[in-house]
Amino acid sequence: MSNVPSWLDMHGKVVVITGASGWLGQAIVRRFASAGAAIALHYFTHSEAAQRLQDEIRHSGGKAICVQANLSEEEGVEALLRATLDAYARVDVWINNAGTYPVSPLLDLSVGEWQEVIDVNLQAVFISTQKVARQMIAQGEGGVILNIASIEGLSPAMGHSHYSSAKAAVIMLTRAAAYELGPYGIRVNAVSPGLIARPGIEDAWPQGVRSWLETAPLRRMGQPEEIAEACFFLASPAAAWITGTNLIIDGGASCRPIF
Protein backbone atom coordinates (compact mmCIF):
# COMPACT_ATOMS: atom_id res chain seq x y z
CA MET A 1 0.00 0.00 0.00
CA SER A 2 1.41 3.39 -1.00
CA ASN A 3 2.23 5.92 1.71
CA VAL A 4 1.87 8.77 -0.80
CA PRO A 5 -1.29 10.84 -0.19
CA SER A 6 -3.73 10.36 -3.06
CA TRP A 7 -3.70 14.03 -4.00
CA LEU A 8 0.05 13.84 -4.65
CA ASP A 9 -0.34 10.99 -7.14
CA MET A 10 -0.86 11.91 -10.81
CA HIS A 11 -0.48 8.42 -12.30
CA GLY A 12 -3.11 7.95 -14.99
CA LYS A 13 -3.47 11.70 -15.57
CA VAL A 14 -2.52 13.44 -18.81
CA VAL A 15 -1.13 16.95 -18.43
CA VAL A 16 -0.44 19.44 -21.22
CA ILE A 17 1.96 22.31 -20.47
CA THR A 18 2.34 25.06 -23.05
CA GLY A 19 5.59 26.97 -23.22
CA ALA A 20 7.20 23.94 -21.60
CA SER A 21 10.72 24.66 -22.83
CA GLY A 22 11.02 27.91 -20.85
CA TRP A 23 12.40 28.38 -17.35
CA LEU A 24 8.97 28.23 -15.66
CA GLY A 25 7.50 25.64 -18.01
CA GLN A 26 10.33 23.23 -17.28
CA ALA A 27 9.73 23.47 -13.53
CA ILE A 28 6.02 22.78 -14.02
CA VAL A 29 6.74 19.82 -16.28
CA ARG A 30 9.15 18.28 -13.79
CA ARG A 31 6.71 18.66 -10.91
CA PHE A 32 3.89 16.84 -12.67
CA ALA A 33 6.18 14.21 -14.19
CA SER A 34 7.61 13.45 -10.75
CA ALA A 35 4.09 12.59 -9.61
CA GLY A 36 3.60 10.13 -12.46
CA ALA A 37 1.59 12.21 -14.94
CA ALA A 38 1.90 11.59 -18.67
CA ILE A 39 3.15 14.85 -20.15
CA ALA A 40 2.63 16.69 -23.43
CA LEU A 41 5.27 19.42 -23.69
CA HIS A 42 4.48 22.26 -26.04
CA TYR A 43 7.12 24.56 -27.48
CA PHE A 44 7.21 27.18 -30.22
CA THR A 45 10.87 27.91 -30.96
CA HIS A 46 13.11 26.20 -28.37
CA SER A 47 13.13 22.69 -29.80
CA GLU A 48 16.41 21.57 -28.21
CA ALA A 49 15.28 22.44 -24.68
CA ALA A 50 11.95 20.68 -25.24
CA GLN A 51 13.65 17.58 -26.62
CA ARG A 52 16.07 17.43 -23.69
CA LEU A 53 13.21 17.68 -21.22
CA GLN A 54 11.27 14.97 -23.02
CA ASP A 55 14.31 12.70 -22.95
CA GLU A 56 14.92 13.45 -19.26
CA ILE A 57 11.40 12.36 -18.35
CA ARG A 58 11.56 9.23 -20.48
CA HIS A 59 14.95 8.22 -19.10
CA SER A 60 13.52 8.45 -15.59
CA GLY A 61 10.70 6.09 -16.54
CA GLY A 62 8.02 8.68 -17.27
CA LYS A 63 5.87 9.39 -20.29
CA ALA A 64 6.40 12.51 -22.40
CA ILE A 65 5.94 13.84 -25.91
CA CYS A 66 6.92 17.26 -27.24
CA VAL A 67 4.90 19.15 -29.83
CA GLN A 68 5.73 22.33 -31.77
CA ALA A 69 2.81 24.66 -32.43
CA ASN A 70 1.79 28.30 -32.79
CA LEU A 71 -1.00 28.52 -30.22
CA SER A 72 -2.18 31.97 -31.28
CA GLU A 73 -3.79 30.20 -34.25
CA GLU A 74 -6.59 27.66 -34.03
CA GLU A 75 -4.67 25.19 -36.18
CA GLY A 76 -1.79 25.20 -33.71
CA VAL A 77 -3.97 24.44 -30.71
CA GLU A 78 -5.77 21.73 -32.66
CA ALA A 79 -2.43 20.16 -33.58
CA LEU A 80 -1.29 20.11 -29.94
CA LEU A 81 -4.57 18.64 -28.75
CA ARG A 82 -4.58 16.05 -31.55
CA ALA A 83 -1.01 14.96 -30.77
CA THR A 84 -1.92 14.59 -27.09
CA LEU A 85 -4.97 12.48 -27.88
CA ASP A 86 -3.02 10.35 -30.35
CA ALA A 87 -0.44 9.62 -27.65
CA TYR A 88 -2.62 9.29 -24.57
CA ALA A 89 -6.28 9.23 -25.75
CA ARG A 90 -7.35 11.90 -23.24
CA VAL A 91 -6.39 15.12 -21.48
CA ASP A 92 -7.03 15.86 -17.80
CA VAL A 93 -5.05 19.03 -17.08
CA TRP A 94 -4.14 21.85 -19.48
CA ILE A 95 -1.76 24.56 -18.30
CA ASN A 96 -1.59 27.75 -20.37
CA ASN A 97 1.95 28.86 -19.59
CA ALA A 98 3.30 30.05 -22.96
CA GLY A 99 3.93 33.79 -23.11
CA THR A 100 6.08 36.63 -24.33
CA TYR A 101 7.01 39.81 -22.45
CA PRO A 102 8.99 42.32 -24.52
CA VAL A 103 9.54 45.78 -23.06
CA SER A 104 8.30 48.80 -25.00
CA PRO A 105 7.14 52.20 -23.67
CA LEU A 106 3.53 53.01 -24.49
CA LEU A 107 4.49 56.01 -26.64
CA ASP A 108 6.80 53.85 -28.76
CA LEU A 109 4.63 50.73 -28.94
CA SER A 110 3.56 49.79 -32.46
CA VAL A 111 0.24 48.15 -33.29
CA GLY A 112 2.15 45.10 -34.49
CA GLU A 113 4.05 44.79 -31.20
CA TRP A 114 0.81 45.21 -29.26
CA GLN A 115 -0.95 42.56 -31.33
CA GLU A 116 1.85 40.02 -30.99
CA VAL A 117 1.74 40.20 -27.19
CA ILE A 118 -2.06 39.99 -27.17
CA ASP A 119 -1.99 37.02 -29.54
CA VAL A 120 0.51 35.00 -27.51
CA ASN A 121 -0.60 35.95 -24.00
CA LEU A 122 -4.37 36.21 -24.42
CA GLN A 123 -5.70 34.87 -27.71
CA ALA A 124 -3.80 31.60 -27.30
CA VAL A 125 -5.30 31.17 -23.84
CA PHE A 126 -8.83 31.72 -25.18
CA ILE A 127 -8.41 29.31 -28.10
CA SER A 128 -6.79 26.65 -25.91
CA THR A 129 -9.41 26.98 -23.18
CA GLN A 130 -12.27 26.65 -25.63
CA LYS A 131 -10.90 23.64 -27.49
CA VAL A 132 -9.67 21.66 -24.51
CA ALA A 133 -12.92 22.36 -22.65
CA ARG A 134 -14.85 20.82 -25.54
CA GLN A 135 -12.63 17.74 -25.32
CA MET A 136 -13.03 17.49 -21.55
CA ILE A 137 -16.80 17.75 -21.90
CA ALA A 138 -16.75 14.95 -24.48
CA GLN A 139 -14.72 12.80 -22.08
CA GLY A 140 -17.39 13.36 -19.44
CA GLU A 141 -15.07 13.37 -16.43
CA GLY A 142 -14.39 17.06 -15.86
CA GLY A 143 -10.88 18.45 -15.91
CA VAL A 144 -8.60 21.29 -14.91
CA ILE A 145 -7.44 24.35 -16.84
CA LEU A 146 -4.74 26.54 -15.30
CA ASN A 147 -3.70 29.92 -16.66
CA ILE A 148 -0.37 31.50 -15.80
CA ALA A 149 -1.21 35.19 -15.37
CA SER A 150 0.96 37.75 -13.55
CA ILE A 151 0.82 40.37 -10.83
CA GLU A 152 1.22 42.76 -13.77
CA GLY A 153 -2.38 41.90 -14.56
CA LEU A 154 -3.26 43.59 -11.26
CA SER A 155 -0.80 46.49 -11.27
CA PRO A 156 1.02 47.90 -14.32
CA ALA A 157 4.75 47.88 -14.95
CA MET A 158 6.74 50.43 -16.95
CA GLY A 159 7.08 49.39 -20.59
CA HIS A 160 4.57 46.59 -20.24
CA SER A 161 1.23 48.18 -21.13
CA HIS A 162 0.59 45.40 -23.67
CA TYR A 163 1.65 42.59 -21.34
CA SER A 164 -0.21 43.97 -18.31
CA SER A 165 -3.37 44.40 -20.39
CA ALA A 166 -3.16 40.83 -21.69
CA LYS A 167 -2.62 39.36 -18.24
CA ALA A 168 -5.49 41.37 -16.75
CA ALA A 169 -7.71 39.93 -19.46
CA VAL A 170 -6.45 36.42 -18.71
CA ILE A 171 -7.50 36.82 -15.08
CA MET A 172 -11.01 37.83 -16.12
CA LEU A 173 -11.17 35.10 -18.78
CA THR A 174 -10.29 32.63 -16.04
CA ARG A 175 -13.24 33.75 -13.95
CA ALA A 176 -15.64 33.77 -16.91
CA ALA A 177 -14.53 30.31 -18.01
CA ALA A 178 -14.81 28.96 -14.46
CA TYR A 179 -18.40 30.19 -14.30
CA GLU A 180 -19.42 28.70 -17.64
CA LEU A 181 -17.51 25.42 -17.39
CA GLY A 182 -18.19 24.59 -13.75
CA PRO A 183 -21.40 22.67 -14.51
CA TYR A 184 -19.30 20.26 -16.59
CA GLY A 185 -16.94 19.59 -13.70
CA ILE A 186 -14.15 21.65 -15.26
CA ARG A 187 -12.22 23.84 -12.86
CA VAL A 188 -10.42 26.93 -14.19
CA ASN A 189 -7.92 28.88 -12.08
CA ALA A 190 -5.08 31.34 -12.59
CA VAL A 191 -1.72 31.76 -10.93
CA SER A 192 -0.17 35.25 -10.82
CA PRO A 193 3.55 35.11 -10.08
CA GLY A 194 5.66 38.03 -9.00
CA LEU A 195 9.30 38.41 -9.97
CA ILE A 196 10.79 34.96 -10.50
CA ALA A 197 14.51 34.22 -10.48
CA ARG A 198 15.90 33.08 -13.81
CA PRO A 199 19.31 33.09 -15.48
CA GLY A 200 20.56 36.56 -16.35
CA ILE A 201 17.74 38.57 -14.79
CA GLU A 202 20.06 40.55 -12.50
CA ASP A 203 22.12 41.68 -15.49
CA ALA A 204 19.13 42.36 -17.73
CA TRP A 205 17.11 44.34 -15.16
CA PRO A 206 19.42 45.38 -12.30
CA GLN A 207 17.32 48.33 -11.14
CA GLY A 208 14.09 46.35 -11.07
CA VAL A 209 15.64 43.43 -9.24
CA ARG A 210 17.25 45.73 -6.68
CA SER A 211 13.95 47.53 -6.07
CA TRP A 212 12.13 44.23 -5.66
CA LEU A 213 14.63 42.87 -3.16
CA GLU A 214 14.48 46.09 -1.13
CA THR A 215 10.69 46.43 -0.99
CA ALA A 216 9.01 43.02 -1.30
CA PRO A 217 8.15 41.82 2.23
CA LEU A 218 9.98 38.50 1.88
CA ARG A 219 13.01 40.28 0.38
CA ARG A 220 13.70 37.77 -2.37
CA MET A 221 12.59 36.67 -5.79
CA GLY A 222 10.46 33.59 -6.20
CA GLN A 223 11.71 30.31 -7.61
CA PRO A 224 10.14 28.54 -10.60
CA GLU A 225 9.61 25.47 -8.45
CA GLU A 226 7.41 27.49 -6.07
CA ILE A 227 5.08 28.39 -8.92
CA ALA A 228 5.12 24.77 -10.08
CA GLU A 229 4.02 23.62 -6.62
CA ALA A 230 1.07 26.02 -6.73
CA CYS A 231 0.06 24.71 -10.15
CA PHE A 232 0.29 21.15 -8.87
CA PHE A 233 -1.92 21.93 -5.88
CA LEU A 234 -4.57 23.64 -8.01
CA ALA A 235 -4.62 20.70 -10.43
CA SER A 236 -4.91 18.13 -7.64
CA PRO A 237 -7.97 16.73 -5.83
CA ALA A 238 -6.92 18.80 -2.81
CA ALA A 239 -8.25 21.83 -4.72
CA ALA A 240 -11.47 20.14 -5.82
CA TRP A 241 -13.66 23.03 -4.62
CA ILE A 242 -11.43 25.80 -5.96
CA THR A 243 -12.37 27.40 -9.26
CA GLY A 244 -12.37 30.95 -10.62
CA THR A 245 -9.50 31.87 -8.31
CA ASN A 246 -6.40 33.91 -9.11
CA LEU A 247 -3.66 32.74 -6.76
CA ILE A 248 -1.12 35.53 -6.22
CA ILE A 249 2.38 34.24 -5.48
CA ASP A 250 4.66 37.23 -5.10
CA GLY A 251 6.35 37.15 -1.72
CA GLY A 252 3.90 39.77 -0.50
CA ALA A 253 4.87 42.41 -3.08
CA SER A 254 1.29 43.24 -4.01
CA CYS A 255 0.36 44.06 -0.39
CA ARG A 256 2.85 46.91 -0.06
CA PRO A 257 1.20 50.09 1.27
CA ILE A 258 0.58 53.04 -1.03
CA PHE A 259 1.87 55.51 1.58
- Catalogue the active-site residues: 163
**Is the Cα dihedral 51, 197, 98, 231 positive or negative?**
positive
The total of other beta-carbon atoms located within 10 Å of residue 258's CB is 3
What is the rounded (10 degree) CA torsion for 168, 171, 174, 178?
-130
Express the helix, strand and coil content of the chain in percent, nearest 5 each: 50, 15, 35
Contact 163, 104 (CB under 8 A): no
DSSP 83: H
